[in-house]
Amino acid sequence: MKKQDKFFIQVGKEIDKGFKYTGGEFEAYFAWFDSHEISDVIEVSNYIWQKDIEDFVDIMRQAGVKSIAVTNTSTGLMEMLHNLVDYNCTVVGAYKRLNDFNSTFVKGISVRL
């Protein structure tokens, strides 16, 4: 089991107990939860608001996550990428993986934390 899996499993237990997390921390947990069984990379499909970027990146780094794939397709995607860059993250390039469920491709942008 990867360090990030152990970390986020513990976060999930704390959420179940009512422990309070910020919006960015919740988004990080749900990004991990939604993708940890289907991909080796954490795929971030939700839009992360500017006010939540710092907490999102910090908890990902605490979990040992080195990079994510931003698969969000909202009109605010460019702003989200710039918010990540403003918080010392690096846009690396294109990300693509085959979705085994329906044989389509999940496309995104790889970001190093």
pLDDT at residue 111, as a whole number: 98
Cα→Cα distances 9→3, 41, 48, 79, Å? 10, 16, 21, 30
pLDDT value of residue 37: 83
Amino acid at 108: G
Q: Does the reported pTM lie above 0.85?
A: yes
The Cα–Cα gap between 109 and 81 comes to 9
For the chain of 113 residues, list the mean pLDDT of each consecutive stretch of 10: 90 89 94 89 95 96 96 94 96 93 92 97
Q: Which of 67, 69, 75, 66 is nearest to 97 (CA)?
A: 69
Nearest Cα residue to 66 out of 31, 113, 1, 7: 113
